[in-house]
Structure 1
Amino acid sequence: MIFTHEMKNNALVVRLTGDLIGENNSAAVVEVVTEAIQQKVKNCIVDISGLRYINSSGIGLLITILTKFRNKGGEVYLMKPSESVQKLLVITKLNAIFQIIQSEDEVLKS
């Protein structure tokens, strides 16, 4: 998995590409999230449009991000899941836990 991040309108935007299978760089993602929360960032957009596959460790990473933000009164949005990732979210019922969006504007304008 490759990830990048940036701040937009006081929201953390994390872009994940490749396969989210709990690799070594998952800790780096959590570190970026933790730093953003310490800076009082309340919203996180995780762009998962570039993900081909997610395993249980990858799901664990997404839940960790969600837990960290919600514990501080924030929210996490998953953006543009591919068809296969969307099916996984439905099967695992994570689509009921995460807010699924199609564009950053849905969050950044509010």
Structure 2
Amino acid sequence: MDDAAAASREAFSELSAEDFTVSGATTYSNFEGTGVDLTSGQVDAVVCLDVTDVDVRNSSGQSIVTDDRPDHQPMQATFVPASTTTGLAISSTQQSETDTCTP
């Protein structure tokens, strides 16, 4: 759970250090379970992130998001048991080069 949070904090720190600003919300459009470990409770899934409303701007206020950026991006995610309202927390994420998303 700490690895995913630490990676997000690091990414935002790097953007901030380079004077980039991020606006808009990332949501998810699809969730497909790909595996479960009944002993540990770990769940693996492909989650399609919807970044349609996300923009990244440089210090001059110009968007650095390219026109060809996919609005829906597949991520492989691992969830582990945790004391949350769902009973699971994200332990790791990785952008998927092999999965696809359909809006």
After TM superposition, the score normalised by the length of structure 2 is 0.28
Answer with 1 or 2: which has the greater Rg. Answer: 2
Whichever structure has more helix as a proportion of its residues is: 1
Name whichever structure is richer in strand by fraction.
Answer: 2
